[in-house]
Amino acid sequence: STFDARARSHAGARGLMQIMPSTGRLIARGRKERFSLNRLYDVKTNLDYGTSYFAKLLERFGQHPEVALAAYNGGPNRAARWWAKTPNHDVEIFVDSIPLGETRRYVKRVLSHYSVYRSLYGNKGENAASSERSPLPPPWASPSMRPFAEQVLSLKQQHPEKSKSPL
């Protein structure tokens, strides 16, 4: 969405979190709220719908963010089929074998952006008392992300003042 609250994708997704109208209707119905397409352009509603939908996808796909991201972008039924065909449920194989190029690039982009933020800001905002691991992997967890993570860490070392910025 490039942080554009009025964004609309070629597929029809709307708002900051690019919610499809059919998904918005389902979420609104589940909450017993009145739905209109304009609500998807309301920042608060869009963020609320998008984050709760992603949380449900994480729950559905066993806390595998790679699969939940693929479901968010390419549809949960497609992601479920792709995941079922993935040998040993290896997430790296899963990501690299997503048949829709747009979805594969989306998953990789979100994971790499997450890794950058995680590298720069650490665990700020997470529940310090929680013993659960973050639902997303650190940048070095995936060999395909390693060169990018090393570049980020190098920049962080060159500019330590930026890594102290509050989130």
pLDDT score of 128: 39
99-130 pLDDT, tens per residue? Answer: 999 999 999 999 988 877 777 777 655 543 34
Evaluate whether 68 touches 57 at the Cβ level (below 8 Å): yes
45-74 pLDDT, tens per residue? Answer: 999 999 999 999 999 998 899 999 999 999
* Whole-prediction pTM: 0.71
Give alpha helix (H) positions in 7-159.
Answer: 21-30, 43-60, 65-74, 76-84, 91-96, 101-121, 146-158
1-10 pLDDT, tens per residue? Answer: 677 889 999 9
Residue 3 Cα distances to 16, 44, 55, 115, 125, angstroms = 6, 13, 20, 19, 21
